[in-house]
């Protein structure tokens, strides 16, 4: 079956009145809706073990829901810098840059008006299997240096897996860290808490954090701690942490499963592969947004590590003129037959 890419239709307006459009992709049993506002992954519909379809990401039926939501970034494309930059400041090539402090004393997810609050240009992907979003972030936007040209292509492959490819180029040295911030509930959005899902993460280390969720030192082993998800177990709650993926040091990046999430009730399984070195597990303990309460969705944000611009010992997030940032994450869907 070829991918059905539905012509975009008007889905609402951004706060400044700019029209917002919804794109729908469908292939091999997966149906995906993407908004050009915030690059938001509005819905992902997949069948359970009995063939019953449900939307497995948290979100809203209309654009106003996202605009009015008090900021858990439902389904959004995050940039320029996903996660936190400590103190809202970093130094690059001897120059210090000051950013908005929109998370206590830290800069979170690109600042006050990150990519999640922009209307992106949208067009069918060149291969006909998805939608390509693009924007230009001018030099100095939210304090970040360089004119950054960004694209994100959402596409479905022949098996119905969702592939997101991010690209960026700059005209001056800068830092870049892009991700998608969907909350997954494989029982279906609105079905209740997702803490009973079983999770495996291919990570032998986690970055230790202080009370402001900023790394305090080098990655620490997960063995013998509550961060050990190397074997599948219930997610529970109380997580907003970056896991250091083992695939970053063994094997070709993106060729092995970085994480696998399983809902025993519905039988749905989500697999995540990525070229990124880390994955942020966030169980949404604190948010209460619209119809969704704490722990009703699990975020698995593939990205570089928090505060990397201030940590030369972490994988670099620096992008320079003449280079291209490229990152690929794929979300695969299947079902399991056991009814445990």
Q: Quick one: residue 224, left, alpha or beta (phi over 0 = left, psi -120 to 50 = alpha)?
A: left
Rounded distance between C-alpha atoms, residue 143 and residue 168, angstroms: 18
Residue pLDDT tens, the chain, 340 long:
455 677 788 899 999 999 999 999 999 999 999 999 999 999 999 999 999 999 999 999 999 999 988 778 999 999 999 999 999 999 999 999 999 999 999 999 999 999 999 999 999 998 888 999 999 999 999 999 999 999 999 999 999 999 999 999 999 999 999 999 999 999 999 999 999 999 999 999 999 999 999 999 999 999 999 999 999 999 999 999 999 999 644 445 566 789 999 999 999 999 999 999 999 999 999 877 678 889 999 999 999 999 999 999 999 999 999 999 999 999 999 999 765 4
Q: Is the dihedral of CA 102, 77, 204, 260 positive or negative?
A: positive
Question: Looking at residue 250, what is its pLDDT?
Answer: 40
Instruction: Output the pLDDT for position 69.
Output: 84
Note the pLDDT of residue 248: 47
Q: Of 240, 243, 239, which Cα lies nearest the Cα of 222? A: 243
Q: Is 112 a catalytic residue?
A: no
7, 24 contact by CB (below 8 A) = no
45 is catalytic: no
Among the options 181, 197, 205, 304, which is catalytic? 181
Q: Do 74 and 194 form a contact (C-beta atoms < 8 A)?
A: no
Which residue of the set 109, 197, 301, 304 is catalytic? 301
What's phi and psi for 286, nearest 5 deg? -95, -20
SS3 25: strand
């Amino acid at each position: 079956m070829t991918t059905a890419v539905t012509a975009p239709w008007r889905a609402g307006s951004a706060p400044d009145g700019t029209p917002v459009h919804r794109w729908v992709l469908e292939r091999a049993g997966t149906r995906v809706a993407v908004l050009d506002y915030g690059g938001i992954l509005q819905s992902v519909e997949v069948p359970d073990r009995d063939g019953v379809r449900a939307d497995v990401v948290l979100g809203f039926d209309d654009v106003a829901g996202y605009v009015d939501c008090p900021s858990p970034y439902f389904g959004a494309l995050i940039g320029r810098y996903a996660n936190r930059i400590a103190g809202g400041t970093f130094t690059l090539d001897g120059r210090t840059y000051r950013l908005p402090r929109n998370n206590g004393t830290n800069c979170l997810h690109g600042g006050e008006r990150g990519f999640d609050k922009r209307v992106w240009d949208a067009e069918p992907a060149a291969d006909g299997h998805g939608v390509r979003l693009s924007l230009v972030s001018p030099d100095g936007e939210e304090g970040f240096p360089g004119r950054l040209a960004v694209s994100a292509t959402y596409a479905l492959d022949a098996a119905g897996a969702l592939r997101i490819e991010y690209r960026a180029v700059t005209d001056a040295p800068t830092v870049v860290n892009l991700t998608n911030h969907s909350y997954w509930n494989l029982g279906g959005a609105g079905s209740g808490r997702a803490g009973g899902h079983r999770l495996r993460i291919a990570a032998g280390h986690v970055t230790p954090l202080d009370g402001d969720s900023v790394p305090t030192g080098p990655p620490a082993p997960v063995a013998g701690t509550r961060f050990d998800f190397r074997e599948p177990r219930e997610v529970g709650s109380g997580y907003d942490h970056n896991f250091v993926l083992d695939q970053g040091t063994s094997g070709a990046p993106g060729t092995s499963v970085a994480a696998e999430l399983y809902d025993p009730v519905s039988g749905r399984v989500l697999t995540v592969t990525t070229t990124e070195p880390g994955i942020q597990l966030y169980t949404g303990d604190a948010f209460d947004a619209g119809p969704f309460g704490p722990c009703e969705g699990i975020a698995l944000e593939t990205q570089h590590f928090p505060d990397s611009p201030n940590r030369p010992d972490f994988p670099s997030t620096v992008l320079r003129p003449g280079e291209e940032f490229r990152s690929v994450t794929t979300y695969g869907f299947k079902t399991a037959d056991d009814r445990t």
